[in-house]
Amino acid sequence: MKWLNGYKMRLVIVGFVAVLMLGGGSAKADFTFGKPQNLGPTVNSLYHDAGPSLSADGLDLYFYSDRPGGSGGYDIWVSTRQGVEDPWGLPANLGAPVNSQYNECYPSLSSDGLTLYFSDYYSGSPRPGGLSAGDIWMTTRPSRSAPWGTPVNMGAPINGSTLDMSPTISGDCLTLIFTSNNRAGGRGSWDLWMSTRAGVQDPWGPPMNLGSTVNSGGWDGEGGLSWDGRAVFFDSGRAGIVGTVDLWMSTRKTIADPWAVAVNLGSVVNSSGNDGTARVSPDMRTLYFCSDRPGGFGSYDLYTAPILPIVDFNGDGIVDGADVSIMVDYWRTDNSICDIGPPPWGDGIVDVQDLIVLAEHLFEEPGLIAHWTLDETERDIAHDSASGYHGTVHGTPAWQPDGGMLDGALQFDGIDDYVSTEFVLNPSDGVFSVVAWIKGGEPGQAFLSQADSANWLCTDSIEGCLMTEVKAAGRGGVPLLSQTVITDDTWHRIGFVWDGSYRHLYVDGVEVAKDAAPLSRLEDAHGGLYFGAGSTLAPDTFWSGLIDDIRIYNRAVSP
């Protein structure tokens, strides 16, 4: 069956949506995270900036910081912006009576913007008037334009005889999750606890430990509850982490269901350092958190990472009619792959909500960060249509406008022809995939490499079999070699996929090599890319053949 063009396909979907019935169930949606972005020097300082909390309209960002200009220790600050697409303005200190000479941390703003919850820090002198070594407090105001009132201690049963901190409130203001140290009934020294109430005027109920699916018996805390109350993000130092302290999350089907086993957010979000104080934006499309990873402005900086639905169901790199067909096959079921709406958690059934989300992404290539079609006909630039990582042509490679597998291609002479680009990605940063068409070549040659680092895609020097020299970090890293010859003067679609645990090599849609055991991470590399030559431009690595349509994704695809 031949699929319709994009415009007609969208019309078909709109008509389909109009006649479908809504349903309900348990949420199992698949989603991923985009690359974290530092909020920049306007918001971040040379000091410790953490604990983000957004207003319902996404225009106010509260956080805590020990930067100069405060009342003492850690203070609560707020940055504002005119619209959700506008940049954040310079942060302002909330001042007295909220901030004091003591520590005010972990702000959490109610959905109406009229109540601000916060707490003491886990070290230092607590604010006077509390019940223990550290407590949770709240301040209110009659309107969003009015000043904040004098904070009051939340008292029992929220606060106990031990340190209680880092409150986070749900969008309906009926669920409060917080961190407590050595509270009776806990699993470890630091646990996540939850209290609920029937209405906003009702008292809070006795806190309940989130249990063994969330708490590990070690450090678990600084939670961030999603606005729908069905996901909690937190930081933990438990086993199975990427860095020193990682971000984790747990979800539940409904607010009446138990929390599922927590999962690590993975190496796209987590770094080799400390990552924490995660909160989700009110529209649940962006994760805010703090990190001391390299490249920041201070000891801890604020970052964001987009929460992205996985809509390329078959993993072929593009969202198209095949993905629509898959969704139709699972219609009215609780299939976790297709349950993508409402984003990001889904609603437990494949229905109209999921089709709406899919329609928003039709004919996109999710996670595509670079794409060199190599369809040019002249000049010395190979254009990147995805992100602007344009390549510079060296030597005299010949453009072949009609000689590629997909339109044009670039012919390399195996002597001194190659293309160079600026830095595109560091393999150690997380999941990525590379796909390209090639024809020709000789044993020992490379067609894609990273300058002064490793040959991403090349052939072994004996038989011309596909291999990658991108290795695991540390001693003992070795290349991954297939047994598939690709230097047979035939067009081949080549793929290299790093899924965060295993390296995979593909030839013409078939996996031809995979690591036998999981790897922790790949070697660091910060150079630009070479097409048609090895990483050091050694004479025997120059490619003698055609290269066409190179694509790089920041996710695992199925070439």
| pLDDT tens for each residue of 358-406 | 998 888 888 899 999 999 998 899 999 999 999 999 999 999 999 999 9
Interatomic CA distance for residues 532 and 525, integer angstroms: 19
Q: What is the pLDDT of residue 534?
A: 98
Residues in the chain with pLDDT values less than 70: 1-29
Extract the tokens encoding 275.
């990552």
Report the DSSP beta bridge partners of residue 193. Answer: 178, 209
Q: What is the pLDDT of residue 240?
A: 76
Extract the tokens encoding 333.
């079921």
Amino acid identity of residue 222, one-letter, is: E
Whether the Cβ atoms of residue 181 and residue 122 lie closer than 8 Å to each other:
yes
Residue given tokens 């070290």 in the structure block: 123
Class of domain 368-553: mainly beta
Whether the Cβ atoms of residue 163 and residue 181 lie closer than 8 Å to each other:
yes
The structural domains of the chain, with segments of one domain joined by +, span: 6-25+312-361, 33-308, 368-553
Extract the tokens encoding 523.
């070697």
Select from 303, 307, 306, 305 the least CA-distant residue to 63: 303
For residues 451, 454, 456, 462, the Cα torsion angle rounded to the nearest 10 degrees is 120
Interatomic CA distance for residues 9 and 363, integer angstroms: 10
Extract the tokens encoding 13.
């979907």
Residue given tokens 């599922």 in the structure block: 260
Residue 162: strand, helix, or coil: coil
Fold of 33-308: Neuraminidase (2.120.10)
Residue 382: strand, helix, or coil: strand
Whether the Cβ atoms of residue 280 and residue 286 lie closer than 8 Å to each other:
yes
Angle ∠(466,468,471) on CA atoms, nearest 5:
155
Select from 510, 478, 496, 511 the least CA-distant residue to 556: 496
Q: Quote the pTM value.
A: 0.74
Interatomic CA distance for residues 30 and 13, integer angstroms: 21
pLDDT digits (tens, 9 = 90+) for 49-103: 999 999 999 999 999 999 999 998 999 999 999 999 999 999 999 999 999 999 9
Residue 552 to residues 206, 267, 389, 491: CA-CA distances in angstroms?
Answer: 51, 18, 11, 19
Angle ∠(30,259,272) on CA atoms, nearest 5:
65
Extract the tokens encoding 227.
């606005």
Fold of 6-25+312-361: Type 1 dockerin domain (1.10.1330)
Whether the Cβ atoms of residue 67 and residue 73 lie closer than 8 Å to each other:
no
Q: What is the pLDDT of residue 22?
A: 31
DSSP 287-301: EEEEE--TT-SSSBE
Residue given tokens 């393999």 in the structure block: 427
Interatomic CA distance for residues 79 and 93, integer angstroms: 9
For residues 127, 131, 132, 136, the Cα torsion angle rounded to the nearest 10 degrees is -60
Interatomic CA distance for residues 214 and 166, integer angstroms: 16
Same fold, 6-25+312-361 and 368-553: no
CB neighbour burial string for 417-446, b if at least 16 within 10 angstroms, e if fewer:
bbbbbeebbbbbbbbbbbbbbbbbbeebbb
Select from 520, 444, 434 the least CA-distant residue to 481: 444
Interatomic CA distance for residues 435 and 492, integer angstroms: 10
Interatomic CA distance for residues 386 and 372, integer angstroms: 8
Select from 118, 110, 133 the least CA-distant residue to 74: 118
Pairing outcome for strands 263-264 and 275-280: unpaired
Which helix (H) or strand (E) element contains residue 11?
A: helix 6-18
- Ramachandran area for residue 229 (φ above 0: left; ψ -120 to 50: alpha; else beta): left
Task: Let me know how many helices (H) and strands (E) the chain has, helices first.
Answer: 3, 37
Beta-carbon contacts of residue 463 (< 8 Å; ≥ 6 apart): 443, 485
